Amino acid sequence: MKKFFNPQRQEWEAILERPTKTVADIEQIVEQIFREVKAGGDAAVKNYSELFDGYKSDAFEVTSEEIKKASAAVSEELKAAIDLAKENIRKFHAAQKTSPVSVETVSGVACWQEKRPIQKVGLYIPGGTAPLFSTILMLAVPAQIAGCKEVVLCTPPAKDGSVNPAILYTAQLCGIKKIYKVGGIQAVAAMTFGTQSIDKVYKIFGPGNQYVTVAKQMATKYNVAIDMPAGPSELLVVADASADAAFVASDLLSQAEHGTDSQVVLVSLSKALLEEVASEIEKQLEELPRKETAQAAIAHSRFIYMNSEEKALELIDEYAPEHLIICTSNPDLFVEGINNAGSVFIGNYTPESAGDYASGTNHTLPTNGYAKQYSGVNLDSFTKAITFQKISSEGIQKIGPSIELMAEAEGLQAHKNAVTLRLKKLKASGNE
């Protein structure tokens, strides 16, 4: 870990740099795979699945028998935990429903807005050493609430073609019918173009490594939307002397174990606490099964001492963390002052893990500074707003002259004529 003490503003950009590759480093291979999947469909997906995942098969879709076996393999205790998390996530996202907005802008001109579900969505669920079945809840539950008609799920298999039982159990619990054993760039490409086996979707959701992130961005070039350009996970903790050093260390390590390219940052208002947390991290690291992964991430972590809460807040806003934990005696300053963060956790007893699993908020969040422009996944992510308007003869007479003048000023005569013809007919019929 690297330590910094009261860094000057001009140093912040370099200190807060993410340990990620640039798109240029990855884009060439992504473009190649996209071209091949577009042209070759299932055959290309099969080739890349064998190359990257070691999985060789002509059939990608998970069978009902596989789902049945997976369900039997999940313990009743884990099923109960998943049920609890699902219900909390359902409650929080159902509460985000909004009613149609309607207004008469002037007499005779009615305008309203209604939300409609995105009909076809694709979910990418990471597998491997950390099978993120919790992400299925975060994506499938709001998709269900929104009313999405078709949900396609792709997840990378093991070399023997198996998928973690908890992933399959959770997917069927959420009513997903189309589950495919495909991962990485080829999965995103398949959902972008559609293949003989895998349906094309309108929007792709889900986290992944930097290759998946670039693949999702590539999908946008082919008229497929994405949730956000989310990449490697990150966490920033701001803490003062009132914080529990062991708690802070455990939170930092909880993100560090996601991957070697994860980044964790501690902004401390106490030099003593900063050193205590560093010591706690070394102690807790020894007990982690994913020690090597966490250790690699900790190597490019940042421990920053700031002697002012206001300066600390400025630095945090500049970093725009995916996750922000506030453990200070004056949390309101940070809660009320933060502008850029994916999700915020307040107090010593609010670990980031709660948001990852069961509190109810969504854990699919913007990383790499995108919290300055993007929201995390929410119910609206699965809908689009359509505006409607209805204008009466009275209404067109009220706004028509303004439309004519504006259209003429822009040199768009046909626009003007569309109004003028109507006004003339009303005048001729004596309905002015």
| pLDDT for position 220 | 97
Establish whether 186 is an annotated binding residue: yes
CA 80 – CA 86 distance, rounded (Å): 10
Establish whether 323 is an annotated binding residue: yes
CA 148 – CA 157 distance, rounded (Å): 26
| pLDDT for position 130 | 76
CA 233 – CA 227 distance, rounded (Å): 15
| pLDDT for position 1 | 84
Tell me the CATH class for 23-229: alpha beta
Single-letter amino acid, residue 60: F
Establish whether 415 is an annotated binding residue: yes
Single-letter amino acid, residue 335: V
Tell me the CATH class for 392-428: mainly alpha
Establish whether 144 is an annotated binding residue: no
Strand partners, 385: 115
Establish whether 300 is an annotated binding residue: no
DSSP secondary structure letter of residue 263 = E
Residue segments in the chain with a per-residue pLDDT below the cut of 50: none
Q: Quick check: is 322 catalytic?
A: yes
Domain extent listing, the chain? 2-18+232-360, 23-229, 392-428
Q: Quick check: is 300 catalytic?
A: no
| pLDDT for position 18 | 87
Q: Judge if 2-18+232-360 and 23-229 fold alike in CATH terms.
A: yes
Buried-state track 334-364, b at ≥16 Cβ within 10 A, e below 16 = beeebebbbbbbeeeebbbeebbbbbbbbbb
Establish whether 258 is an annotated binding residue: yes
> What would the CATH number be for the domain defined by 2-18+232-360?
3.40.50.1980
Establish whether 363 is an annotated binding residue: no
| pLDDT for position 432 | 66
| pLDDT for position 20 | 67
Establish whether 373 is an annotated binding residue: no
CA 363 – CA 342 distance, rounded (Å): 9
Establish whether 209 is an annotated binding residue: yes
Is 26 exposed, middle or buried (CB count within 10 Å of its CB: 0-12, 13-18, 19+)?
buried
Alpha helices in 300-430 (DSSP H): 309-319, 331-337, 352-357, 393-409, 413-428
- Supply the pTM of this predicted model: 0.93
* Active-site choice (280, 322, 352, 363): 322
| pLDDT for position 387 | 98
Is 228 exposed, middle or buried (CB count within 10 Å of its CB: 0-12, 13-18, 19+)?
buried
Strand partners, 267: 238, 304
The string of pLDDT tens digits covering residues 348-373 is 999 999 999 999 999 999 999 999 99
Strands (E) located in 125-176: 150-154
Closest Cα partner for 191 from 241, 125, 284, 143?
A: 125
* Active-site choice (93, 323, 352, 363): 323
Task: Report residue 287: phi and psi, to 5°.
Answer: -95, 0
Establish whether 66 is an annotated binding residue: no
Closest Cα partner for 276 from 323, 314, 242, 236?
A: 242
